[in-house]
Amino acid sequence: MNLFYPKTKSLMKKFKNYLFFSILFLFHFANYSQFLENMNASFETYSAYYLDDKKTGDFKLENRFRSNNYLNLKSIFAKNWNFELQIESYMPKPLLNYSPNFENTNISTLKFEYNVKDLNVVFGSIYEQFGSGTSLRTWEDKSLGINNSLLGLNVNYKLTDEINLTSLIGQQKKGFKYSKGFVFGVDSEIDISQLIDSNSTFLFGLSYVGRNDQKIKSESFDNLTNLYSARIDYSGNAFYTNLEITQKSNNPILVFGTPSDTFIKKGSAYLLNTGFFNKGLGLDFTFRRLENMTLYSEIAAAGNEFNESIVNYLPALTKQHDYSLTNLYVYAAQPDVNFYVEDLTKAGEIGFQTDLYYSFKKESFLGGKYGTSISANFSLWNNLGGKYDFLNQSYKTDFLSFGEKYFSELSFEIRKKWSESFENIFLYVNQYYDKRMIEFESGQVKSNIFVVDNTFKINDKKSFRVELQHLSTKNDNKNWYAYGIEYNISSSFSIYYNNLYNYQNPDEDKKINYYNFGGSYTKGMNRLALNYGRQRGGLVCTGGICRYVPESTGITFSIITSIF
The tens digit of pLDDT for each residue in 459-515 reads 988 999 999 999 999 999 999 999 999 999 999 999 999 999 999 999 998 899 999
Q: What are phi and psi of 16, to 5 degrees?
A: -70, -35
State how far the alpha carbon of 457 is from the alpha carbons of 414, 416, 419, 491, in Å: 19, 14, 10, 12
3-state SS string for 358-382: EEECCCECCCECCCEEEEEEEEEEE
Instruction: Give counts: helices (H), strands (E), the chain.
Output: 4, 32
Which residues, other chains included, contact 108 with Cβ-Cβ below 8 Å and sequence gap of 6+? 70, 86, 87, 88, 125, 147, 173, 176
Q: Are 534 and 51 contacting, i.e. CB atoms less than 8 angstroms apart?
A: no
Q: Are 540 and 512 contacting, i.e. CB atoms less than 8 angstroms apart?
A: no
pLDDT at 17: 53
Q: List the chain residues with pLDDT less than 50.
A: 1-8, 11
Query: Could you tell me which residues are beta bridge partners of residue 125?
Result: 151
pTM for the model: 0.91
pLDDT at 548: 87
Q: First vs last Cα of the chain: how many Å apart?
A: 49
pLDDT at 59: 64
Q: State the CB neighbour count (10 A cutoff) for residue 492.
A: 14
Q: CA torsion 471→474→475→479, rounded to 10°?
A: 30
pLDDT at 22: 53
Which residues, other chains included, contact 424 with Cβ-Cβ below 8 Å and sequence gap of 6+? 415, 416, 418, 452, 453, 454, 455
Instruction: Round to whole Å and give the CA distance between 366 and 369.
Output: 9
Which among 90, 93, 97 has a CA at the least distance from the CA of 45? 90
Which residues, other chains included, contact 69 with Cβ-Cβ below 8 Å and sequence gap of 6+? 43, 44, 45, 46, 88, 89, 90, 91
Instruction: Tell me 537's DSSP state.
Output: P
pLDDT at 487: 97
pLDDT at 21: 53
